[in-house]
Structure formats: structure tokens, C-alpha cells
Amino acid sequence: MSHGNEQIFNPAERVAKISHCSSMEQYKQMYDKSLKDPEAFWGDIAKNFHFEQNVTGKFMDYNFDISKGKIFIRWMEGAKTNICYNCLDRHVLAGKGDQVAFYWEGNDPADAEVVTYGELLKEVCRVANVLKAKGVAKGDRVAIYMPMIKELVVAMLAVARIGAVHSIVFGGYSADSLADRMLDAQASVLITADAVWRGAKLIALKEIADDALKVCQAKNVKVKMSLVVQHMKNVTAPQASSNGTANGNPSKKTHFDDKGNFKVGWNSGLDVWWHEAVKDVSSDCPPEWMDTEDPLFMLYTSGSTGKPKGVLHTVGGYMLYAATTFKYTFDYHPDDVYFCTADIGWITGHTYVTYGPMLNNATSVLFEGVPTYPHIGRFWEIIKKYKVSKFYTAPTAIRALMKFGDEPVKKYDISSLSVLGSVGEPINPEAWMWYYQIVGDSNVSIADTFWQTETGGHVITPLPGATPTKPGSACFPFFGVEVALLDDEGKEVKGEGEGYLVFRRPWPGIMRTVYGNHERFETTYFKKFPGFYCTGDGARRDKDGYIWVTGRIDDMLNVSGHLLSTAQVESALVEHPAVAESAVVARPHAVKGECLYCYVTLAEGNDFTEKLIVELRNKVRTKIGAFATPDYMQLAPGLPKTRSGKIMRRVLRKVAVGDRDFGDISTLADPSIVEVLFQHRPKEGKV
């Protein structure tokens, strides 16, 4: 990405005027305190929450140095709390039960609903009681595979209320991916919905979930219940086109009966309708008081070996961190309306749709649809409708909407906006400027938030009332986070310079382990540089101390803000009998940030036909999910390997973009393969 734009933008005055942190002096003071005396800093924050029992042991204890023994992180030893209680009961008891928690905005603009904190508490208790009646207890894993509806929020909070562990799988994942995650977690219950419209596309969630359940059954993992929300009957279907299908979508024909009702398959021993299950159930359910280090949830993220890792977060530290980052990064105030467009199936949705906002008693928009349906101005229309003041989205969405020019934004009065957040990947300065000038009318603060599934919440971010921002830089560390840059040898790069982005100590929201595999946790994050948590990203510090995250330096790639490992895609491709070997690299993409460029070497006797290309793309879709569909598929009669057999990915990345400047290739076993690969490049724009 370009580092060209180092123009400085001061915080918007209207934000700074009322901000929780309104100057760099204040930021520095708070930041210093958070490092010098974490107990006092986080202890003060903890006072805003309900703890059934206070800390009895050490406030913070950890080992980050693998050479000294096992890695561990513990916060607030001995304290007991419940995050659901803090998201709901605490506010209701304070008289805020009638406050709107979510404005639910459906895929179709005709579908909208309002839900208050008080209503949510009742529904959460009912579902918690349903789960308890099925024998779900503290520590049990509950898989959730749902659309962006209020029942998804209810489900996760209900699980948390009874001390079980939620494992949410994004609704765009395939049956295989869902099954892998359920098996790894040994989930005993699944919560899903019949289906959902995303834009004009139908996603038959239950059908996919049923396929996943079959895989679980075959592997002898006993699932006790599949709790199903009947969502389709409450929503407006996309306009039917003349051939009777929804915008040409054939699923409209196969999934609906003559009366237009959505059809679902039913396993009577297993499936339970949500609305029937909660009907006569008590709306009173006392929370389970949890140790602060008890697990709250796991969320799978890609791992460089191809097998996803169950990132595990615990109750107490995550709660403090989600709440505090939300409050400061978006500079949240009680009259704000906040809108985060991320799906709850990703970490951004966990922390900044559900927990962060709800812990702050915020009012948010919960959006089911996509930015371009039914028209390209949908985000702006929603912002106008609810007078959204704080908005949080991904660079890929900004770039996609930028393509349509300024006019679709200018059509709506969105002057209520005062803070605009960005997340998921480096934001290029051009997109940053458009976000600032066109969406924000140059009268907002931009927060480019760097973080990871593993970090639980923002770790490097500007604060909108304090930090003068530079387009493309995530600026400075959040409270409690100590950043360092290291060179290849592990030597610290001080001052201006570039290196591996690492953290020297834990903050409350950092992950505690990889579910069921602590060794993998230690190896992945702590082995490379003893004494540091290694992010896997590279970063540069400029002369003013600003951090510029430059992207992954491992075999991960970031497609539309979704992290994938090349190994994960390669293993999907080689499952096809025609493929002998494959290598996948990232290629820059104008909207997605990066896209998948796949090289395949075929087994003897196979031809690289259009049909095969389609099959290979489908293979990736069914193994991972549609969002991972490769953009490029290229025949590779051979791969560029060193004499020791290691694929030189640097060369593949160059071939992918048609760049012949690949530097030293003298260590390749057969340097002539590079020219061969060049000759096989697909025509631009064609897979």
C-alpha cells in the first residue's frame, strides 16, 4: 500500500469538545498509567461493572516468555461475574429497560423492528431456560449458525448467561466448515435459522446446517438439539422476476411451496422451533456466576497449517476490554446511535455489535442485508433513517461503494455522523480520503482500528477526540497495549523503522489459548520471539511515532477483510482428483484488498478445461465458503521450488501480477519454470 499521504487531520471539533479523551496529553497520561499501574487503571474501570465477588488474588498475572515456561494470562483472579448480566440486568435494574438496544433493519427495507434492553433480557432468559432444560451446563459448547437477526444476539447472551461457551460460525461458511468447527468444539447444541435473504440471494442455513449435522453424526459427535428460528415467514422476499424466480435465483423455485412458504426439512428427534420452545418458558433465569478466567466464547480463525484455530476468550478481561475500547474508540455517548456493519459471525461483530455496545448500554443498528441491496445507497439510507452518529465498516465496503461515485452518498442527509471507523485490513489513503470527505463531509474523526480475532478488541487505533490522524495509519496503541517492532533476529527496532509487529505484555482482552491445543497457541504466537505476542503482521513506525500496519508477513491473506490461509485453500484444491499439487498466493484487488490466485499442477492425464476450473472453484466454495472463491486459477506445469523443495511464493506473487522483476531466483531447482508460468497466465479479468 502507499505511504504517500502523510497529511494530518485533526479530530473533528464537535467530537473533541465532548470527548472522553480530548487531547493527546490526556491520551498520553492515561496510556502511561495503563502501563505503569494496570491494576489501578483497569481496577477503576472494573468498578463500573457488576462483580458478584471481587478480586481475591493477583489483578494481572502472566508469562509471555516461552523460554521460561508455559504461556499464561490471567486477569482479576478470584473475581466472579457474568457478562450477560452486565449487558442486560445491570441496565434494566438502573431503569434503562425501555431503552432501545437494537434497531433491526432487514434485508428488505420494508422489514424493520425495534428491541429494548428489557425485552432482550426476557427473551434471553427464556432461551437460557430452554438450553438448561436440554442439559446444557457451564462449560458446554453451543454452536451458532445464524443470520443477522436479534435472535442471534439473544442466543449468544443466553449461552453466556448459563456459563456455556458459544462458538459462532459465520453464516457464509459451508457445511464442511461448520462441521469441522462443531467437531473441534464437540458442540452439543446447534442454534440456527431456516434461511435468510442476503440481497437477492437465498442462503438456506438449515439445509446447510443439516448437512453439517450429518457429518457430526457420522463422527459420533452427539448433538442434542438443533434450535431453529423461523425467520422466513417474517420477511419480505426479493421482487420476483418474470420467470418466477427471485432475480433469477432458482432457489426461489426449489425452496418455496406453491403458496410461497419456505420449505424446511425436519428431523423430529433433533429439531426444535425456537418460537415453540420459548412459548411457555419462564423469563426468569438467574445468571451463572463465572470466574473471570472461565471461557466465554471461541471463534475460529484461519491458521497457517490450514486447520482453523479456536481462539478462546474468557469472561472478565474480555468484558472490560470490549467495553472500554468501544467507549473510547467510538467516543460513545448516551445519545449516540451506533451502526457496525460487520456480521456477528466475525470477531468485529462479537465485540462491536454485541458485547461492546451492550456493555455500554448503547443503541445500535443491527443490519441483516448487504450494502448494495436493493440499491447502492442502502448504508446511507439507514444512517439517515436512524440518525446514526457512529459508523463502523470495512475498507472493502468503502472501496466497493466508492466505485459508484459521490452522488449516491450525497442523496442522503447523513450529517449526524461524527465518528467513522474502519476495520479488517489496511485502508488505502484514497479510500480513507473518500470516507472522510464524502461520507464524513470533512467534519468527522476517522478511526482506523487495527486488531485481530486474537486481540479481542482494538489494539492500535486513534481516539477520535484526541489523535491527529494520518490516512492509512492506525496511529497509536490503545490503553494497556505495549507495541514493539522487531527485526528478523528479534532485535527491537526503535524509533523510525519497519519490522514484525509484536506486543510485549497482555491487555485484558487478549485470547487465552487455542481451544483444546495450548501448544499450538504457544507455537503460533509466542515461539518466534520469546517474550512477545507476535501478530503475524508487519508494521512501520514513522518519524512521529505513528504505526502503519503493512499487512501479513506469513502465509495468510486477507480477502475483503476475511483472513484466510493459503494452506486452507491449497488443501481444498488438492482434494480434487485432477490436482496433483497447488500453490495459492494473494494478488492485490481493487475492491477486496486481496484476492486468491491459485496455481494448480494437474495429475497425469487431466486437461485444464473450463469445466475443471469451475469444479475447482466449487471445491473451495464447498470446503470453505463462497467468500473464499478464487478469482484466478492458473495451470502450473511445475511450481518454482528451491532445491530443498520449498515453494518460492515470492515468484508466484510476481507472476500473478505479471511482474518480471522477481529478483534472485538462482536458488530455484529449475529456474526455467518461471517463464513457463508466465506463458500460462490467464487473460486479465478471466478466471
Q: Which of 426, 462, 480, 506 binds ligand PRX (CB under 6 A)?
A: 426
Residues 6+ apart with CB under 8 A from 488: none
Closest CB 296 distance from ligand PRX, rounded Å? 17
Q: Is 454 helix (H, G, I), strand (E, B) or coil?
A: helix
Q: Among 533-541, 565-573, 584-592, 659-667, which window interacts with ligand PRX (CB under 6 A)?
A: 533-541
Instruction: With CA atoms as reference, report the closest residue to 539 among 477, 486, 585, 471.
Output: 486
Q: What is the DSSP string of 473-509?
A: --BSBPTT--EEEE-TTS-B--SSEEEEEEESS--TT
Residue corresponding to grid cell 493527546 = 24
450 belongs to the binding site for ligand PRX (CB under 6 A): yes
Q: Among 169-177, 275-283, 424-432, 622-630, which window interacts with ligand PRX (CB under 6 A)?
A: 424-432
Q: Which of 398, 563, 569, 584 binds ligand PRX (CB under 6 A)?
A: 563
Nearer to ligand PRX, 440 or 561 (CB): 561
Task: Lay out the site mask for ligand PRX across 620-639 (x = CB under 6 A, - = otherwise).
Answer: --------------------
151 belongs to the binding site for ligand PRX (CB under 6 A): no
Nearer to ligand PRX, 316 or 426 (CB): 426
Q: Which helix (H) or strand (E) holds 313?
A: strand 309-314
Nearer to ligand PRX, 188 or 325 (CB): 325
Q: Which of 552, 617, 619, 623 binds ligand PRX (CB under 6 A)?
A: 552
537 belongs to the binding site for ligand PRX (CB under 6 A): yes
Q: What is the DSSP string of 254-279?
A: HHB-TTSPBP----TTTEEEHHHHHT
Could you tell me if 573 and 620 are in contact, meaning their C-beta atoms sit under 8 angstroms apart? yes
Phi, psi of 279 (to 5 degrees): -50, -55
Give CA–CA dist 522/507, Å, rounded.
Answer: 17
Q: Which of 169, 216, 227, 423 binds ligand PRX (CB under 6 A)?
A: 423
Closest CB 238 distance from ligand PRX, rounded Å? 29
Task: Lay out the site mask for ligand PRX across 338-357 (x = CB under 6 A, - = otherwise).
Answer: ---------xx---------
Q: Given phi > 0 = left and psi -120 to 50 = alpha, else beta, which region is 441?
A: left
Q: What is the DSSP string of 374-397?
A: SSTTHHHHHHHHHT--EEEE-HHH
Closest CB 425 distance from ligand PRX, rounded Å? 5
The residue of the chain with the least Cβ separation from ligand PRX equals 453
Residues 6+ apart with CB under 8 A from 424: 342, 348, 394, 395, 396, 558, 560, 561, 562
Nearer to ligand PRX, 426 or 477 (CB): 426
Nearer to ligand PRX, 188 or 302 (CB): 302
Nearer to ligand PRX, 85 or 450 (CB): 450
Could you tell me if 233 and 273 are in contact, meaning their C-beta atoms sit under 8 angstroms apart? no
Task: Lay out the site mask for ligand PRX across 94-123 (x = CB under 6 A, - = otherwise).
Answer: ------------------------------
Residues 6+ apart with CB under 8 A from 552: 536, 537, 538, 558, 563
Instruction: With CA atoms as reference, report the closest residue to 455 among 435, 468, 428, 474.
Output: 474
Closest CB 556 distance from ligand PRX, rounded Å? 7
Closest CB 394 distance from ligand PRX, rounded Å? 8
Q: Which of 287, 295, 317, 424 binds ligand PRX (CB under 6 A)?
A: 424
The amino acid at residue 269 is G
Nearer to ligand PRX, 337 or 459 (CB): 459
597 belongs to the binding site for ligand PRX (CB under 6 A): no
Closest CB 136 distance from ligand PRX, rounded Å? 28
Q: Among 378-386, 435-443, 551-559, 618-626, which window interacts with ligand PRX (CB under 6 A)?
A: 551-559
482-521: which residues touch ligand PRX (CB under 6 A)? none
Q: Which helix (H) or strand (E) holds 579?
A: strand 579-589
Closest CB 483 distance from ligand PRX, rounded Å? 13
* Set of cell numbers at residue 10: 485533526
Closest CB 592 distance from ligand PRX, rounded Å? 13
Q: Which of 425, 570, 594, 631 binds ligand PRX (CB under 6 A)?
A: 425
Q: Which of the 8 DSSP states describes residue 439?
A: I
Residues 6+ apart with CB under 8 A from 242: none
Q: Among 181-189, 324-332, 418-426, 636-644, which window interacts with ligand PRX (CB under 6 A)?
A: 418-426
Closest CB 537 distance from ligand PRX, rounded Å? 5
Q: Which of 27, 41, 297, 451 binds ligand PRX (CB under 6 A)?
A: 451
Give CA–CA dist 239/542, Å, rounded.
Answer: 52
Residue count at the site for ligand PRX (CB under 6 A)? Answer: 22
473 belongs to the binding site for ligand PRX (CB under 6 A): no
Q: Which of 82, 129, 329, 558 binds ligand PRX (CB under 6 A)?
A: 558
Q: Which helix (H) or strand (E) holds 650?
A: helix 649-657
Residue corresponding to grid cell 497425469 = 604
Residues 6+ apart with CB under 8 A from 608: 600, 602, 635
Rg, C-alpha atoms of the chain = 25
Q: How do strand 271-273 and strand 290-291 relate by DSSP bridges?
A: unpaired
464 belongs to the binding site for ligand PRX (CB under 6 A): no
453 belongs to the binding site for ligand PRX (CB under 6 A): yes
Nearer to ligand PRX, 397 or 563 (CB): 563
Question: Which residues contact ligand PRX (rule: CB under 6 A)?
Answer: 301, 347-348, 423-426, 448-453, 474, 535-537, 549, 551-552, 558, 563
